Amino acid sequence: MQTELSNNLGVQYAVFGFTPFPAVAAAISRAGGFGVLGAVRYTAPDDLKRDLDWIEAHVDGMPYGLDVVMPAKKVEGVTEADVEAMIPDSHRQFVTDTLAKYGVPELAEGEASGWRITGWMEQVARNQLDVAFDYPIKLLANALGSPPADVIDRAHEQDVLVAALAGSARHARKHAEAGIDIVVAQGYEAGGHTGDIASMVLTPEVVDAVDPLPVLAAGGIGSGQQVAAALALGAQGVWLGSLWLTTTEAELPSPRLIEKLLAAGSGDTVRSRALTGKPARQLRTEWTDAWDDPAGPGTLPMPLQGLLVAEAVSRIQKYEVEPLLGTPVGQIVGRMNSERSVQAVFDDLTRGFEKAVDRIDRIAGRSAEL
């Protein structure tokens, strides 16, 4: 599972692992892949610094990166309070009524929500970068497409590669024009924000669109056989996110949520705007059903929806209200049926990859004889 890109970055396997958990990111890099820490939840720079310090101490000198959620266009003078004021009272009441229907307790007095989508804000993301560029990160990825030009220039000045996610060949070409180094072709099957095109179609389209830039395949990948397929389609590696949620190093807040993930099949996810206002694949729950019901008020655009439901999501997770309990996850959840260490995941990936390559070699050998 080695490619030109993985060799250039000094990693053993062309497996890039996105995760919100520092312990998982470090374990991915130690296992021979490339760990990428998701920064969207870090609204306080000191918290990000603390976790990057931890990764630096536990990564055994192996490379790692950071993933931010940063809009390409800057919006001046908009604060979180300004955005909060735009949320209609009718939507706030819908949240209140839905939580009451399922008996979700209030947070304790003075207890703040532990989950807020604020990393999309210009200044929050820039504060994250001010911290990150003091560390020897080797990759900066942006989940909202190409970051601003000055951020790309700053990364390149520090020999940091820049990656951007794309859900279509058109998006990928825009990233290439912006000076991106790596395009992540994220298929419909992926967890979190994702587009409408499946990985088998999307990957070769993006590879052709941005050649000779390296492409990482993402979405629905969770076995070595699928890694081999991605490389056969022209990708120089894979970008895996959902697969790490049920690893023993992950820090999911709820044992019941882990149980739901382990029990879920590949058909138990849905693309819903319930979490952030943009279509994001996640476990289907009675919470997503309520927001997707035509009888309801409908979701708000990003970032209003994320701010609206932040406290509700924290309450659902804290009190483990099972009918409403969910998380972003891809269709690969159907293969996530046991808790394993990150190293065990890599062992399975390498075995499956070798098996797939041997199979293709046999087929090619027989074809040559014919």
**pLDDT digits 0-9 by tens, 287-303:** 999 999 999 999 998 87
Predicted local distance difference test score (pLDDT) of residue 71: 67
What share of the chain has pLDDT > 90, as a percent? 80
Query: In DSSP terms, which residues pair with 44 in a beta bridge?
Result: none
Are residue 15 and residue 160 in the same domain, yes or no?
yes
Output the CA torsion sign for 53, 59, 62, 68. negative
- At 244-287, the pLDDT tens digits run 999 999 988 889 999 999 999 999 999 999 998 989 999 999 99
Which has more confidence, 78 or 163? 163
Euclidean distance between the first and the last CA atom of the chain, given in angstroms as a whole number: 29
Using pLDDT thresholds of 50, 70 and 90, give the confidence band for residue 369: low
In 3D, which of 199, 205, 144 has the Cα closest to residue 170? 205
> Cα–Cα distance between 42 and 292 in angstroms, integer?
29
> Cα–Cα distance between 88 and 158 in angstroms, integer?
44
Domain of residue 261, residue span: 81-116+253-324
Last residue of a domain, one of 324, 346, 361: 324
Are residue 211 and residue 132 in the same domain, yes or no?
yes
Are residue 49 and residue 166 in the same domain, yes or no?
yes
Burial 220-231 (b: 16+ CB within 10 A, else e): bbbbbbbbbbbb
Confidence check: pLDDT of 119 > 50: no
Query: Residue 216 is encoded by which pair of tokens?
Result: 């990482």
Using pLDDT thresholds of 50, 70 and 90, give the confidence band for residue 33: very high
Confidence check: pLDDT of 111 > 80: no
Are residue 85 and residue 191 in the same domain, yes or no?
no
Number of domains in the chain: 2
Instruction: Kindly state whether residue 63 falls inside one of the protein's structural domains.
Output: yes
Instruction: Kindly state whether residue 224 falls inside one of the protein's structural domains.
Output: yes
In 3D, which of 352, 237, 238 has the Cα closest to residue 4? 237
Q: Concatenated DSSP letters for 39-61?
A: -TT--SHHHHHHHHHHHHHHSTT
Are residue 271 and residue 181 in the same domain, yes or no?
no
Query: In DSSP terms, which residues pair with 184 in a beta bridge?
Result: 165, 216
Distances from the Cα of 140 to the Cα of 48, 164, 258, 284, angstroms: 15, 9, 29, 31
Angle 8-14-19 (CA atoms, 0-180°, nearest 5)?
Answer: 110
Last residue of a domain, one of 245, 277, 293: 245
**CATH number of the domain enclosing 15:** 3.20.20.70
Are residue 162 and residue 241 in the same domain, yes or no?
yes
Predicted local distance difference test score (pLDDT) of residue 116: 55
Helix (H) or strand (E) holding 365, with range, is: helix 342-369
- At 127-144, the pLDDT tens digits run 999 999 999 999 999 987
CA dihedral 279, 80, 88, 296 (to 10 degrees): 20
Is 99:309 a contact under the CB 8 Å cutoff? Answer: no
For helices 22-30 and 342-369, angle between their N-to-C axes, nearest 10 degrees: 40
> Cα–Cα distance between 237 and 215 in angstroms, integer?
7
User: What's the average model confidence in pLDDT over 167-190?
Assistant: 97
What integer best gives the mean pLDDT of the chain?
92
Helix (H) or strand (E) holding 281, with range, is: strand 280-283
Are residue 189 and residue 279 in the same domain, yes or no?
no
Using pLDDT thresholds of 50, 70 and 90, give the confidence band for residue 78: low
> Cα–Cα distance between 178 and 182 in angstroms, integer?
11
Are residue 51 and residue 157 in the same domain, yes or no?
yes
User: What's the average model confidence in pLDDT over 45-74?
Assistant: 90
Confidence check: pLDDT of 74 > 70: no
Is 350:14 a contact under the CB 8 Å cutoff? Answer: no
Output the CA torsion sign for 147, 271, 248, 350. negative
> Regarding beta strands 280-283 and 64-68, do their DSSP bridges make them parallel or antiparallel, or are they unpaired?
unpaired
Instruction: Kindly state whether residue 365 falls inside one of the protein's structural domains.
Output: no
Last residue of a domain, one of 212, 245, 278: 245
In 3D, which of 110, 113, 144, 189 has the Cα closest to residue 38? 144
Is 308:95 a contact under the CB 8 Å cutoff? Answer: yes
CA dihedral 328, 329, 331, 332 (to 10 degrees): 170
Are residue 103 and residue 142 in the same domain, yes or no?
no
